[in-house]
Structure 1
Amino acid sequence: MAQKKAGEVEAFLSRPDTSFPVVLLYGPDPGLVSERAQKLAALSGVDPSDPFASVTLSADELEKDIGRLFDEAGTVSMFGGRRLVRVRGAGNGKALADAVADLAQKPPQGATIVIEAGDLKKNAALRQQAERGRATMALPCYQDEGRALDRMIDEELEKAGLGIERAARDLLRSRLGADRLASRGEVQKLCLYASGKAGITEEDVSAIVGDVSAETVDEAVDAAASGEVKRLPELIERLTSSGTATFQLHQALLRYFQQLLAMRQEVERGGAVPTAVVERRRPHFRRRAAMEAALVAWEEEAIAAVLTRLERDILDSRRHAALSVTIMHRSLMEIGVQAARARTRRR
């Protein structure tokens, strides 16, 4: 059976087997699923920013037109090389599960298909087809625990050329682990803060992990996601004047919309009540109203499109550092305007 245990996934990703051109990643941590999907995309050798070689599709769209998946997988890249097809927001859709079964029997030539799904049960059709197929691989993704969390910390410290005191590591670990992307973002922020020092201390962790500037970041994210456009100029000014790194805000937006996607799936696919879905997430009381407004305003397909756009903006910010503030400003304002229009239509 083509599947790995949770503890075997990292080893597989370090030495991916190309005999499995269709890979399903699933689990309750959307940040971890997304991060591993990005790693697979990078290992495919395809530039995700190249529209002629890479495409991202919504699972909901494919349920309406599954033929597009086969069309995209069979399309020859304009400039040669492999083609990358990413599918986001997969769940219990029958059409996609059937398509995976077909692709397992007749693997796409010269294409890598990466499917991102939520926490699929053992009897979920999509998971079963991926586990049974001879050309498909199912990779479970679960939250960071123990050695996995330490390994992620060590990876970022090694990149930054930094050491860390034992007490500082213990404190850092206590504040991480709920979401892989969120955890990695916090460690990256800490490494940036400690750049040039001999090593990271407890004082560094206390000063930057959970920094008070995060409150302004949260306010900006909430305002954009809920369509409070009038508040955004002031919040953006506070962020830029305080020297908040643009990647910190972009990562916060990415994590928020990943969480919003999972919540929206509960509403659209499971028939859950928005207020109840938000309550189960237990957000800070100051953020609850904005989260409820965002959950009602955004549809699943639109959220998936925002996630794709944010990944592109993050890449653009890294490539063009001088324009990172402008890109951040554009991200917030355009998301805010889109949310405001969505709220207006629903009234």
Structure 2
Amino acid sequence: MAQKKAGEVEAFLSQPDFSFSLVLVYGPDSGLVAERSAKLAKNFGVEPSDPFAAVTLSADELEKDIGRLFDEAKALSLLGGKRLVRVRGAGAGRALSDAIGELSGEKLEDTLVIVEAGDLKKSAGLRLNAERGRHAMALPCYQDEGRALDQMIDEELSNAGLSMDRDARDALKARLGADRIASRGEVKKLCLYALGAPTVTEEDVAAIVGDVSADALDEAIDAAASGEVKRLPHLIDRLATAGTPTFQLHQTLLRYFQQLQALREGVERRGEPVGRAIDRRRPHFRRRPAMESALAAWTLSAIDARLQAIESDILASRKDAGLALTITHRTLMDTAVEAARLRARGRG
């Protein structure tokens, strides 16, 4: 079986074996998958943006016309030389899985097919077919942790001619998100900020690297609970790009409404003013307006119904990991729409 363990992937990418003409790169971190796919293409010697030697295909489109993949994989470069075929967004599609099983059984001369996929279970057809193929290699990519994250930081520090002490490194790692590309961008920004200094300090990290993922998460939850329907899709996209796990979004929303329920009980059953209830919660001043709006709009019965809906969506997302992001997006948007409806009714 042609596959690498997660800890062996970087070594393979540094000295790739192109006797494997089809490579499946998969994992939950879309940024890391894209970065490693690009590194593999670079080492193969074909620029992905070269229209004469490279083509990028969508997995969704291939499910409608899988013959396109065979045509592109077996076509010759218009100017001669090597050819790169890159497939993005692969998942549970049956047509693509079967095609990969067929293509991985033959050697494609001067052609490399790179398939980028999300997190795949061991039983996933796409993963099984790639691992079993004589001329295919499967590369699992997981979130930046431990040595992999340190390696990326060291690369950027070395490129900038900088060093970093342990305290600064720990502070930096604590602020980086789950997405490799976003994390690398933050480290590059830090290096540019510290350029010319002998070393990167903890103060530099605090000054320039914001905990973007945490801030965006709070904004999204506040927007959903207070009914900011138009603003919410952008916030969800930011979180998805940063690689924020869907379970974290669901659990944070669930906890928020559990806290809102406790506060609303004081308002409805004890006659406590909304402002006083918020004072007891002591939210950050930036979150206070949204919380006041939410507490004033959501009744206990509406909160109960929303908690049941959130719990149902959490269960559904766990049963079907491939739809987890779609389900989470729906949960947040449904919450925002209901909040907006309640606010409008309260003003009426």
User: So what's the TM-score if we normalise by structure 2?
Assistant: 0.64
Instruction: Give the alignment partner of residue 277 of structure 1, picking from 318, 328, 331.
Output: 328
CA contact 1:143–1:177 (8 Å) conserved in 2:
no
SS of the residue 2:85 aligns to: strand
- Report the equivalent of 2:143: 143
Contact 2:179 2:241 in 1 (8 A): no
Select between 170-179 and 81-90 the one with higher mean Cα deviation.
170-179
Instruction: Report the CA distance shift for 1:77/1:133 in structure 2 as closer, same or farther (over 3 A).
Output: same
Q: Counterpart in 2 of 1:210?
A: 210
Distance of 1:24 and 1:135 partners within structure 2: 11
Aligned partners of 1:274 and 1:7: how far apart in 2? 27
1:19 maps to 2:70: no
How far did 1:206 drift?
Answer: 0.1
Q: What's the counterpart of residue 305 of structure 1?
A: none
Determine the structure 1 residue equivalent to 2:309: none
What amino acid is aligned across from residue 104 of structure 1 in structure 2?
Answer: S
Deviations 1:224-267 (A, max 9, x none): xx988xxx9xxxxxxxxxxxxxxxxxxx989855869x99xx8x
* Cα deviation digits, residues 289-325 of structure 1 (max 9, x gap): 69989xxxxxxxxxxxxxxxxxxxxxxxxxxxxxxxx
The Cα of 1:92 is off from its aligned counterpart by 1.1
Does structure 1 residue 86 correspond to structure 2 residue 86? yes
- The residue aligned with 1:122 is 122
Contact 2:24 2:138 survives alignment (8 Å): yes
1:142 to partner: Cα distance:
0.6
- Secondary structure of 2:137 counterpart: strand
Per the alignment, do residues 106 and 134 of structure 1 end up closer, same or farther by CA in structure 2, a change over 3 Å counting?
A: same
Give the alignment of 1:72-111 within 5 angstroms.
72-111=72-111
1:199 alignment partner, SS class: coil
* CA deviation after TM superposition for structure 1 residue 176, in Å: 2.1
Q: How many residue pairs were aligned?
A: 252
The amino acid of 2:8's aligned partner reads: E
Matched residue SS, 1:113: strand
Matched residue, 1:6: 6
CA contact (8 A) 2:182 2:242 kept: no
The aligned residue for residue 240 of structure 1 is none
Q: Whole-Å Cα distance in 1 between the matches of residues 111 and 4 of structure 2?
A: 22
The question of whether the paired residues in 2 share the 8 Å contact of 1:31 and 1:255 is answered with no
Match of 2:62 in 1: 62
Q: CA deviation at 1:19?
A: 0.5
Q: Tell me, what secondary structure is at the counterpart of 2:46?
A: coil
SS of 1:105's equivalent in the other structure is coil
Amino acid at match of 1:76: L
1:182 deviates by 1.7
1:2-49: CA deviations, max 9, x gaps? 000011001100110011110001111111111111111111101111
Distance 2:193 2:335 in 1: 30
Deviates more, 1:92-101 or 1:175-184: 175-184
- The structure having more radius of gyration, on CA atoms, is 2
5+ residue gaps, structure 1, are 233-251, 281-287, 294-347
- The offset of 1:134, in angstroms, is 0.9
Output the amino acid matched with 2:41. Answer: A
CA distance in 2: counterparts of 1:270 and 1:211, whole angstroms: 27
Question: CA separation in 2, counterparts of 1:274 and 1:151?
Answer: 29
Task: Name 1:193's counterpart in structure 2.
Answer: 193
Structure 2: distance between partners of 1:176 and 1:257: 13
Q: Distance in 1 between matches of 2:71 and 2:327?
A: 39
Query: Does structure 2 retain, via aligned residues, the 8 Å contact 1:30–1:258?
Result: no
Deviation at 1:116, TM superposition (A): 0.5
- SS across alignment from 2:16: coil
CA distance, structure 1, for counterparts of residue 87 and residue 128 of structure 2: 17
Distance in 1 (alpha carbons) for counterparts of 2:145 and 2:6: 11
SS in structure 1 opposite 2:104?
helix
User: 1:201 is aligned with what amino acid?
Assistant: T
Contact 1:25–1:117, Cα closer than 8 Å, also in 2: yes
The answer on whether the counterparts of 1:62 and 1:96 sit within 8 Å (CA) in structure 2 is yes
RMSD: 3.4
Secondary structure, in 3 states, of the residue corresponding to 1:142? coil
- Unpaired runs of 5+ residues, structure 2, are 224-228, 248-316, 338-348
Q: Distance in 1 between matches of 2:324 and 2:12?
A: 39
Amino acid at match of 1:106: E
Q: What pairs up with 1:1-347 in 2 under 5 angstroms?
A: 1-210=1-210, 256=240, 276-278=327-329
Amino acid at match of 1:278: H
Q: Residue 272 of structure 2 corresponds to which residue in structure 1?
A: none
